[in-house]
Chain A
Amino acid sequence: MDEPIATSAIWTVIILLGLGTWLIRFSFLGMIGSRQMPEWALRHLRYVPVAIMPGIVAPLVAWPAATGGTLEPVRLIAVIVALLVGAYLRSTLGSIIAGLAVLYSLLAIVY
C-alpha cells in the first residue's frame, strides 16, 4: 500500500458527511413541520417509495457485483418471485421469505 490517508482527512470526511447527511434527512421534516403542503407536492410524494427503491435495485439485479457484473438468471428469478409474492400477498415479510427461499434453493440446485 502507498502512503496512508491523513488522520485529518478521515475526520473531516466523517464529520462533514455525518452532519451533511443528517441535514439532508432533517431538511423537509425540520423546515416544513406541521404546515400544510400543497396538493401537487403530496401527489408527487406518494410515489417516493416506488420511484426510488426500484431504481436502487435495478442495476444491482442487472449487473450483480458477485457475478462480475453479468446478469444471472437465479438472482433475476429470485427478485421477480419476491416482487410477485409481495404484491399478491401485500406482505413484506412474505416477500423476503419467498425471495430468499427461491434464491438459495436455485443456487443449491444450479451450483
Chain B
Amino acid sequence: MSRTASPFWQGAQNGLPFTLMIVPFGLLFGVVATEAGLNLFQTMSMTVLVIAGAAQFSAIAVLADHGPVLVAVATGLAVNLRMAMYSAALVPYLGAAPLWKRALIAYGLVDQSYAAAIQKYENTPEMTISDRLGYFGGFFCTLSPFWYGSTLVGALIGSAIPPEYALDFALPITFVALVAPAMRSLPHIAAAFVSVVVSLLLASLPYNLWLMVAGLAAMMTGAALEKWMKQNG
C-alpha cells in the first residue's frame, strides 16, 4: 500500500486545514453583504466572480457608505494588486501550461492556493507541469466550496460567529503557517522582517497601499541580500 497519491489528491488533502480557516471569513462576508442591501443572488455572484474576501469587504464598505461606484471598484482592485506578484512568481512553474489552463489557474489564485502551491513547487523540483496543475487544482477544489458555501450560509442566517470564538484570528495564523516553513535563509528572514516593519509603519496609507510598499521593499531586501551573500560568501 505504498502507492503515492496523485498530485490532485495531495493538493486536495493539503487544502483541508485551510477550509476551517476560510469559513468564518465567508460567513462574515455573507452577513455584511446582506446587511449592506445585496440580495442573495448578488452576494453569491460577487463571492463567485471576485473570489477575494478582503477586496469584497472593501468594495462593499464603500458602497454601503454611498461612495462612488468607481471608487468601490478601485478600492477593491488596490487590495488585490498583490496578486500580480503571485502571478509573476508562478510563471517559472506554470508559464508553459496552455493558455486556457493558465486562465483557470488565474481564477483560483488566492493567498492560500498561491502560498501552498509555491511551497510545494519549490520543495519538489521534479514535478512535471501537469503535476503542478493537478496539485493546484486539487487544493482549489477543496477550498472553494467552503468559501462559496460559507458565504451562502452567512447570507441566509445573517449572523456571524461571535467574537468570543476568536475565529478572527484564524486568518493570521493561516498566513503565518504558510510562510513559516519558507524561513530557511537569512534573506528570507530579512525580507519578512522588513515586510512587518514597513507594513506597521505605513498602516495608515489608504487602499491597502501599505501592503504593496511593504511587499516591494521586502522583495528588494531579500534579493539584494541574496546577491550580496553570493558575492561575498
Binding site for B on A (CB under 8 A): 1-2, 4-5, 9-18, 20-22, 24-30, 32-35, 37, 40-66, 75, 78-79, 82-87, 89-93, 95-97, 99-100, 103-104, 107
Contact = CB atoms under 8 A, between A and B. Distances in A.
A24 B95 CA distance: 15
Nearest to A48: B89
A14 B46 contact: yes
B95 A92 contact: no
A41 B194 CA distance: 19
12 contacts: A9-B63, A9-B72, A13-B69, A17-B46, A21-B77, A27-B87, A29-B90, A29-B102, A30-B106, A49-B115, A90-B181, A95-B176
Main secondary structure of the interface of A (DSSP, over half): helix
B156 interface: no
A26 B87 contact: yes
A22 B106 contact: yes
Interface stretch (B2-10, B140-148, B218-226): B218-226
Nearest to B115: A49
A4 B37 CA distance: 6
Given A10-B38, A53-B176, A95-B176, A29 B169 contact: no
A29 B80 contact: no
Given A13-B72, A29-B102, A99-B177, A57 B191 contact: no
Given A29-B90, A51-B218, A66-B168, A86 B77 contact: no
A61 to B, nearest CB: 6
A73 to B, nearest CB: 13
Contacts of A12: 69, 73
Contact of A49 (B83, B119, B198): B119
Given A32-B95, A47-B187, A82-B180, A53 B115 contact: yes
Contacts, number: 305
B91 A78 contact: no
B178 A92 contact: yes
Contacts of A57: 172, 175-176, 196
A26 B82 CA distance: 12
Interface string B139-171: 000000000000000000000000100101111
A75 B86 CA distance: 28
Given A52-B85, A52-B215, A55-B215, 9 more contacts: A20-B77, A22-B107, A32-B88, A33-B99, A45-B92, A46-B89, A49-B89, A55-B198, A99-B176
A21 B176 contact: no
A25 B179 contact: no
Contact of A55 (B84, B102, B214): B214
A105 to B, nearest CB: 12
B86 to A, nearest CB: 7
Interface in B35-54: 36-38, 42, 45-46, 49-52
B111 A29 contact: no
